[in-house]
A and B are shown apart, each in its own frame.
Chain A
Amino acid sequence: MTDVVSIPETEIAPGQVGGRMERVEDERLVRGLGRYVDDLDPPRVVHVAFARCPYPHARIVSIDAGQARAIEGVLEVLLPDDVLGRTGPISILRPIPEAPRVMPYALPREIALYEGQPVVSVCATSRAIAEDAVAALDIDYEPLPHLSDVEKALADDAPILHPELGTNLLVQNPRGDGNPDAGFAESEVVVDDRFRINRVSGLPMETRAILASYVPGVRELEVVASTQAPHLFRKQLSDSLRFPEADIRVTTHDCGGAFGLKLGIFAEDVLVCLHAMDLGRPAKWVEDRMEFFRGATQARESLHVARMGASSDGTILAYTNHYYVDLGAHNSPMGSPMLSSLMFQGPYSFQHGYVERNVVLTNKVPVGAYRGYGQPEGCFVRELLLDRIARKLRIDPLEIRRRNFIRPDQMPWQTPGGAKYDSGDYQRCMEMAAETIGYEEARERQRALRDEGRYLGIGLACYVEMTGYPGSKFLGKHGAEYGAHEGVVVRANRSGGVDVYTGVPPIGQSTETAFTQVAATVIGLDAAKVRVIAGDTQGTPVNTGSFASRTLIAGSGAIERAGREIRDKALRVAAFMLDVPVDGLELADSVISSVDDPEISVSFADVAINAFYGHRLPEGELPGLEATAYYDPISSAFSYGTAAALVEVDPETGEFSLDRFLFVHDCGRQVNPMTVEGQLHGGIAQALGAALFEELVYDGDSGQLINGSMIDYFMPTTADLPKIELDHTEVLSPVTPMGIRGIGESGTIPPGAAVANALCDALAPFDVDINRLPLTAEYVWRLVAESRAHA
């Protein structure tokens, strides 16, 4: 079923679904009136700093806090013994299937497992004094043999980091279907390689931060945190602090970027709450950037041993990938990035595929969720292998993909990885990308330039992205500590609109604006009169949070349900007030009027006021005009698209320029096309950053992080990124409210592969194969040099 709905943007009012509504968030944010955690300075606030283990693996032999405690302004020092008796472990929100749960405690009892692990917590009247106290601590460490990568961790003589496990291989998760061995046997060509994916940081501009206030006896632990999921944060705090959840409130007013790093609680959050509770004063911790590089969740590092086989016409016959995730010292709240497994097939129709995820423990900062959640890695490996097959068979990369795409009439499609694709026209996006980039002309120019000794390359990569979860039952089966649903309270206000209460916090994803548009459209209101109150556990239904590209799908469904209830009641009450049949009324732009005679009308505001007072209501109708509703998705929805890149490479130095980059995608119905573009720009920028510039480098001998600072971590600036060209189709999803698909992570998935394929294409005369990231000039130079040496 291909329902390509092309809704001309000019026809849709900004405040409606599909409109380019300017964001409601912006009025406060452009004025610098956002309220990030550190903007709050309640009276008598105190500040927390941590002593962090400087070694990748060490026994804590002794801690002498005497000098630290003696510093004027130091209020409390918490050592492991002060904490372990009264706190529980930090739970894992999304466990790795079949894996033992390796849950950290707020402080280690005896052994620190990564450089940066908090070992002592200090609270003082200022952050500067807290740091002075940390410097005055006398901590005796005994460095232990450390494991700085997965190979070392899996070696026979490797020290076992968690003795109770008996191994550093936390779990092995197989997934797949069919008979890949048979497929390889039949293949005309088989390619394989070991792909090294770099360890990176999501690097939000605001680091982690928490402010906790507690008044003894009043049973209120009030927390303001920079988090993606206030309700989950609340639950985990309750578990770890052994404090009733009902007495905890968590609020996120504004968050300066999260991208998966701010999902769930961390050791520091537990410790700050303890200080607040012990001292009866508000306690604040704002992570500094040096701590961030050694403590905040890191991402993506994995080794993929992958293989693809195809027939002589380029039809993929088999694909396998044994990959090793460098998890770091323990689980992060979101486990390890999972979707390299579930989504390994991408948009292609092969039936024989097997993927095995090996999760390996090492002495590094824990790896967890970062935008894409394993999909960028999986896409990189698959798309590069496909292009290698294309080169070997001398089939154009566009053509080989045509021969392998799942077709729209084959939807819904069950993949060997276990996903059920809902709908989509994958080939169409690729053809649009090819046309926009001028594929044929580029090939001609490539041929002409090669004669001049210049090397132009064209590269593509196609992806399918899982957005949202297939229901709460699915998550329950997988041991997740959250559901797939969203819940909202929608309550009419006296200004002619509604107040939408949602637990989803603002993290830059424009949810307040999108929810405004959905509510306005569903109910029939002037968008300017809708308010969204977001990110406070007090007053909002228990919900999940902003991650997994799920919020808009589930949130829209909940708003739709609640909105319909309100709309229906408003019409009934209006009919009574106007003394006309309810069937003849419509609600639009916050006015209820008769279809036949618009003069017969009443404002939504007046209906609401009447409903609140209850003075003139029809028989049997209760006062009030509000609804609480939940929506649980029935299926994930799958966004998709193609990235295309044009590069020119100098084989002498490996330097290359990314001359054009474009991205054609489908995320179903776009609630706000402007913010969709923004999400893609941001995701693509992060993808290009991770593919071309960024890497967290651990020294092989010392096991320490070499470049843990903004000076040496190469996040791209305005001057480093090209113009990003976008285009889209809008195939509605049949399984979501309004046909919406998620978009938050799409941008991160194919760009690295597209650029890598472009480089290999440019350097085809040198027959180079790329198998690692990042794609630095030096790396490209080495590839060419090695190839020349072998020739």
Chain B
Amino acid sequence: MTQTLIDVRLTVNGEPVERAVEPRRSLVDFLRHDLGLTGTHVGCEQGVCGMCTVLLDGEPIKSCIMLAVQADGAEITTIEALNGEELHPAQRAFKEAHGLQCGYCTPAFILTSVALRERGLDIPREELKEELAGVLCRCTGYQNILTAVETYLAADD
């Protein structure tokens, strides 16, 4: 059946976006294939692995279990927002700590860290592990990811 398309207007990485989408289109598919922002990845479509993490109004969410139509009016931040000639401090921290191997989970962890830093709290390691537990990694065993995030959170502005 051809579905009625729904208009969505949102801001993605600071840019206004307007599209008509199928109701069943997920936010992650919309970002990746309608907008070409492929830095956010898909790992399960069940809301578990966290590859699809983006920031919605500054907070981390799993975009595989959000419909694109639900993002109407929202401000979405993807990994591409951090990209410039120089690495963003969070990106640099991951590189220096060898906090990635295949890179598939990396944008999700980086965005989650950025949101954490915005909250401005002093987070002890055990609690930090809990804050990051919504993104899975199969390559690194999390050891260097934790180091990278701790370094980034502790760095001066």
Contact = CB atoms under 8 A, between A and B. Distances in A.
A and B in direct contact, judged by CB atoms within 8 A: yes
A26 B94 contact: yes
Given A30-B110, A205-B137, A710 B103 contact: no
B111 to A, nearest CB: 9
A219 to B, nearest CB: 30
Interface stretch (A308-316, A407-415, A680-688): A680-688
Interface string B94-119: 11101011111111001000000000
Given A31-B79, A711-B48, A718-B129, A205 B146 contact: no
A718 B83 contact: no
Given A204-B138, A254-B102, A286-B42, 12 more contacts: A22-B95, A26-B100, A30-B103, A31-B91, A41-B36, A256-B104, A257-B139, A681-B142, A681-B144, A709-B46, A715-B136, A724-B143
A289 interface: yes
A72 interface: yes
B27 interface: no
A431 interface: no
Interface in A144-166: none
A685 B146 CA distance: 14
Given A681-B143, A719-B130, A508 B102 contact: yes
B19 interface: no
A719 B98 contact: no
A681 B43 CA distance: 21
B17 interface: no
Contact of B141 (A25, A719, A721): A721
A391 to B, nearest CB: 31
B94 to A, nearest CB: 5
* 8 closest A-B pairs by CB: A32-B39, A508-B102, A29-B103, A685-B141, A256-B104, A681-B141, A32-B79, A508-B101
A595 B49 CA distance: 57
19 contacts: A26-B103, A29-B100, A30-B103, A31-B39, A31-B82, A32-B83, A36-B104, A39-B38, A205-B49, A256-B104, A286-B42, A289-B46, A677-B144, A681-B142, A682-B139, A685-B140, A710-B43, A715-B136, A724-B143
A686 B138 contact: yes
B22 to A, nearest CB: 8
B145 interface: yes
Contact of A721 (B48, B51, B142): B142
Contacts of A564: none
B24 to A, nearest CB: 6
Interface residues of B, number: 56
Contacts of B143: 677, 681, 723-724
Contacts of B105: 205
Interface string B122-135: 00000001101111
Interface of A: 22-23, 25-36, 38-39, 41, 72, 128, 202-207, 254-257, 259, 286, 288-289, 506-510, 674-675, 677-678, 681-686, 709-711, 715, 717-721, 723-724, 747
Q: Which among B32, B46, B48, B104 has the greatest number of chain A C-beta atoms within 10 A? A: B104
B98 A256 contact: no
A128 B102 contact: no
B63 interface: no
A694 B39 CA distance: 29
A29 to B, nearest CB: 3
A129 to B, nearest CB: 10
A206 B104 contact: yes
B38 A32 contact: yes
Nearest to A725: B143
A255 B103 CA distance: 9
A506 B132 CA distance: 26
B48 A710 contact: yes
Contacts, number: 172
Interface in B1-56: 2, 22, 24, 32-33, 36, 38-46, 48-49, 51
B136 A30 contact: no
A256 B135 CA distance: 14
A286 B87 CA distance: 30
Nearest to A40: B38
B80 interface: yes
A205 B104 contact: yes
Given A41-B36, A288-B45, A30 B94 contact: yes
Nearest to A202: B138
Nearest to A256: B104
Contacts of A509: 101
Contacts of A257: 102, 104, 138-139
B102 A204 contact: yes
Contacts of A30: 87, 91-92, 94-95, 100, 103, 106-107, 110
Nearest to A507: B102
A678 B140 contact: yes
B103 A685 contact: no
A22 B45 contact: no
B79 to A, nearest CB: 4
B98 A678 contact: yes
A31 B51 contact: no
Nearest to B46: A710
A38 B48 CA distance: 19
A535 to B, nearest CB: 13
A286 B43 CA distance: 10
A678 B148 CA distance: 13
Contacts of A28: 103
A510 B130 CA distance: 28
A682 B140 contact: yes
B100 A255 contact: no
A704 to B, nearest CB: 18
Interface centre among A205, A507, A682, A747 (most CB of B within 10 A): A205
Contacts of B141: 681-686, 721, 724, 747
A522 B134 CA distance: 43
Nearest to A71: B1
A674 B134 CA distance: 26
B139 A254 contact: no
Given A29-B100, A206-B41, A715 B138 contact: yes
A346 B139 CA distance: 26
Contacts of B138: 202-205, 257, 259, 682, 685-686, 715
A39 B136 CA distance: 20
B104 A718 contact: no
A35 B49 CA distance: 20
